[in-house]
Amino acid sequence: MNICVVGTGYVGLVVGACLAETGNQIIGADVDVAKIDGLKRNVLPIYEPGLEDLVERNQSAGRLSFTTDVSAAIRASDVVFIAVGTPPDEDGSADLRHVLAVAETIGQSMAREMVVITKSTVPVGTAAKVSDCVRKHARHPFHVVSNPEFLKEGAAVDDFMKPDRVVLGAETDHARSVMAELYAPFVRTGKPIVFMDIASAEMTKYAANAMLATRISFMNEIANLCERVGANVDHVRKGIGSDDRIGPAFLFPGPGYGGSCFPKDVKALAKTARDQAAPLRVLEAVEQVNDAQKHRLTEKLKQALGSELSGATVAVWGLAFKPNTDDMREAPALTLIDELLAAGARVAAHDPVAMEEAERRLGATVRFATSSYDALVGADALVVVTDWNEYRHPDFTRIKATLRRPIVIDGRNLYSLERMAELGFTYHSMGRRAVP
């Protein structure tokens, strides 16, 4: 198929590269000249494992191209994905200006019958607004489809190529036929394509992310209670996760969720619910819990160092909101670093991938270490924020010898309580007893 993907950010780039890999002709269109110039040279604006090879291979094969001429790309296509950003407004609602601007351009530019797919995360009712914008200018038939993405940052290519399911809100036979053909190569193992009405597809995306965010906040609440009553959250997690009705995923306690999806989507769904006079009280609490959880690392650090952080030097391992990405949007590390700097502490930070993004955000306020161990030099304590693989089995003897004081705050429960006690560390983790 001839396909245009408008928006070459995180979602659009993954969608375009993966569809090109199955033989489609893909044009990635974006108004950002610098981004498109970079993509033409196989320089990606994001870090995502496997994506760079996919882009380079399909550009070389002639199946994938990039342009700033959005109208021309639409005219050359039978299918258009709208994959532009939907940043949150101040009230938490999704900003649809970019989505609707693309819809208007589609109506003005389409040269034949077309399937228009909303891939951006949008609230219920957006597809109807997209349809209205296209219809104002369209001279050919068109079909609007809602196709929410369920891509995990750090595993997005695998998620697209081998999806758990494909959700499609489509209400005409033509749209269902085109979308079934498009996704057939990705569901050969029997994973379902779930067709539904458009409003239900739009709601499914938000409901899925809200459920996962709820599990995280619930487990963080349980972890905080475990510390008070002397229980070990690791044991509790395994005990409840072995129940088939619950399952083990998204039950690991930590310093709160971040990234581009959960914070934004929880806010947007909660705003939609308030607007409909059907407030989601559970979801409001999920957001409150997550905001509070991001302060827990500073609280634990004060407990270990003493209440006065002024003059202390703190090593921070992990800046991205999760491993295998350089995304620092809503990252717990940002909250921690802001609080440390406000208290008069110095920060030395390391991340395997997100250093460039961190320097852009934090500038000279932080010392960026060349290695994880370099960050420890002169530090009074180490705080582990992101569970990158290289932090899971470090050289504890070297850590203890390099730190000025043997204090470790583990925001991801990577290390054994017994091992840290044997080694003589002061060790604080999430939902487990402190090792003095």
CA atoms within 13 A on the CB side of 10: 22
Tokens 């530019």 correspond to 109
**In the chain, what are the domain boundaries?**
2-196, 205-292, 294-428
Cα–Cα distance between 341 and 363 in angstroms, integer? 13
CB atoms within 10 A of CB 3: 23
424: CB partners within 8 A, 6+ apart: 400, 406
Of the candidate ranges 104-108, 117-121, 295-299, 317-321, the one whose mean pLDDT is the lowest:
117-121
Q: Which residues are catalytic?
A: 261
Rounded mean pLDDT of 18-45?
97
Give the phi and the psi of residue 169 in degrees, each rounded to 5.
Answer: -95, 105
Dig out the tokens for 37 from the structure.
């110039």
The reported pLDDT for the residue numbered 196 is 97
Average pLDDT over residues 412-425: 97
pLDDT average, residue stretch 244-266: 95
Q: Which pLDDT value is given to residue 175?
A: 97
Q: What is the pLDDT of residue 92?
A: 75
Reported confidence tier of residue 91, pLDDT bands at 50, 70, 90: confident
pTM of the model: 0.91
Q: Specify the DSSP class assigned to residue 373.
A: T
- The answer to whether 17 and 59 are in contact (CB under 8 A) is no
> Sorting pLDDT into bands at 50, 70 and 90, what band is 123?
confident
pLDDT at 210: 96
Provide the pLDDT for residue 150. Answer: 92
Mean pLDDT of 12-20: 97
Question: Is pLDDT at 33 greater than 80 in this prediction?
Answer: yes
CA–CA dist 99, 94 (Å, integer): 10
- Strand order of the β-sheet with 79-82 is 64-67, 25-29, 2-6, 79-82, 114-118, 142-146, 166-169, 193-196
Q: What is the pLDDT of residue 260?
A: 84
Give the residue among 364, 160, 154 at the shortest CA–CA distance from 258.
Answer: 154
* pLDDT value at 355 more than 80: yes
CA 19 – CA 183 distance, rounded (Å) = 9
Mean pLDDT of 276-293: 97
Burial class (CB in 10 A: 0-12, 13-18, 19+), 45: middle
Q: Which positions ≥6 away from 225 have C-beta within 8 Å? A: 231
Q: So what's the pLDDT on residue 93? A: 79
CATH number of 205-292: 1.10.1040.10
For the structural domain made of 294-428, what CATH number should be given?
3.40.50.720
Q: What is the pLDDT of residues 299-344, one digit of tens each?
A: 999 999 987 899 999 999 999 999 999 999 999 999 999 999 999 9
Specify the CATH number for 2-196; select among 3.30.9.80, 3.40.50.11540, 3.40.50.720, 3.40.50.1820. 3.40.50.720
Same fold yes or no, 2-196 and 294-428: yes
Start-end of H helices in 27-67:
33-40, 51-60
- Can you give the pLDDT at residue 44? 95
